[in-house]
Amino acid sequence: MANVLVWVEHDGAAVKDATLAAVTAAAKLGDVTALVAGSGVDGVAAAAAQIEGVAKVLKADDAALANALAENVAPLIVSLMAGYDAFVAPATTTGKNVAPRVAALLDVTQVSEILSVEGPKTFTRPIYAGNAIATVESADAKLVITVRGTAFAKANATGGSASVEAVSGAAESGLSTFVGSEIAKSERPELTSAKIIVSGGRALKDADTFASVITPLADKLGAAIGASRAAVDAGYVPNDYQVGQTGKIVAPEVYVAVGISGAIQHLAGMKDSKTIIAINKDE
């Protein structure tokens, strides 16, 4: 069995759901070790140790690792990779930022956003905005993979009992500094893990109409709110609501598209939803 190192996505306090899907994918490849990197991450490491399927947790606690700056995190992962055959990260913005940097430093190619594990080095992944599925086989000695969260079942967040081991070796690269963040506050379910999503498009006319039409329906259904690029560009909602090839990829039980034409780039982000409902004037 291969040894697999999984990047744990967290916000400093809790493990993000995307990690659980990455653990499921990684478990198909071999023994899973979870890497928790950050500053003051004892709680996250303890939570990661509970994830079913995780055999060991490596905890890298260092001020340089706060905010997961790729310049500081990638060299640490590369140094750990001497003992592992594969590095697996969820295809979140952090995973997409860090993993290719790790891959290049290891001189291997990365397999992005895998949908399934077909063999020890064989995977499927979407290309052309999900209009084609490629089955690819890596010829590299070590694998670097990002995992599409909606394509794998989430591992149980409890039930595991992995040991936590502290690792060191992190250093400040001096190349980049974190200045600040503007994280949108939301009481709603997270878009990528919501069971129901109500999405609005250009036809909602303006921010007020968007809020008065989409929000009550989403509240009623306990749903997350999404949007098309047109709605985001027109300023109805913030960027991080965007569903599509360049926004978030979602696959809820129910996706309600209101006033969205269904461009290729939007479909790429939601066409794996179980039930899709379109409310549209244009027949």
Partner 1 sequence: MKALVCVKRVIDYNVKPRVKADGTGVDLANVKMSMNPFDEIAVEEAIRLKEKGVVTEIVAVSVGPAKAQETLRTALAMGADRAILVQTDDDAEPLAVAKIVKAIADEEQPGLIITGKQAIDDDSNQVGQMVAALLGRPQGTFANEVSVEGDSVVVKREVDGGLETVKLALPAVVTTDLRLNEPRYASLPNIMKAKSKPLANKAPADYGVDTAPRLKTLKVSEPPVRVAGIKVADVDALVAKLKELGVA
Span 212-231, contacts to partner 1 by CB under 8 A: 221, 229
Q: Is 176 in the site for partner 1 (CB under 8 A)?
A: yes
Selected from 50, 79, 122, 261, the binder of partner 1 by CB under 8 A is: 122
Q: Is 88 in the site for partner 1 (CB under 8 A)?
A: no
Binding to partner 1 (CB under 8 A): which residues in 239-258? 239-240, 245-246, 248, 253-254
Closest to partner 1 by CB, 82 vs 183, is: 183
55 within 8 A of 23, measured Cβ to Cβ: no
Q: Is 112 in the site for partner 1 (CB under 8 A)?
A: yes
Using CA atoms, how far apart are residues 29 and 48, in angstroms rounded to an integer? Answer: 19
21 within 8 A of 90, measured Cβ to Cβ: yes
Binding to partner 1 (CB under 8 A): which residues in 17-56? none
Both tokens of 184, joined, read 């949108």
Mark 84-106 as b/e (b = at least 16 C-beta within 10 Å): bbbbbbbbbebbbebbbbbbeeb
Which one of 30-38, 41-49, 133-141, 158-166 is the stretch in contact with partner 1 (CB under 8 A)? 133-141
Binding to partner 1 (CB under 8 A): which residues in 180-209? 180-184, 192, 196
Closest to partner 1 by CB, 158 vs 177, is: 177
Helix (H) or strand (E) holding 253: none
- The DSSP code sequence of 68-88 is G-HHHHHHHHHHHGGG-SEEE
Q: Is 271 in the site for partner 1 (CB under 8 A)?
A: yes
Closest to partner 1 by CB, 163 vs 181, is: 181
Nearest to 56 by CA among 75, 78, 91, 83: 83
Q: Is 101 in the site for partner 1 (CB under 8 A)?
A: yes
